[in-house]
Amino acid sequence: MSNPIIELKQKKRTFNSTWLKTYKGFEGYSEEEAENIIEQLQKLADIVCNHVQKIKK
């Protein structure tokens, strides 16, 4: 079961290489490196959300 609040927040934000490069320490990353980091962060977020949802049940 998904959380509608989490899904709503995800739809309002765009996480891409341009977004990542706005943070200190990521400015010099190439597009490929930044996209790789974004993908890793998305996977981590999915794991955390799934874990939190299982605890609430």
Q: Mind listing the pLDDT tens digit for each residue in 8-42?
A: 555 566 788 998 999 999 999 999 999 999 999 99
Q: What's residue 12's pLDDT?
A: 62
- CA 37 to CA 33: how far, in whole Å? 6
Q: Is the pLDDT of residue 3 over 70?
A: no
> What separation in angstroms does the CA of 29 have from each of 2, 23, 26, 48, 52?
33, 11, 5, 25, 31
Q: Domain coordinates of the chain in residue numbers?
A: 4-56
The answer to whether the pTM exceeds 0.85 is no
Sequential DSSP letters for 1-57:
---HHHHHHHHH---SHHHHTTSTT-TT--HHHHHHHHHHHHHHHHHHHHHHHHHH-
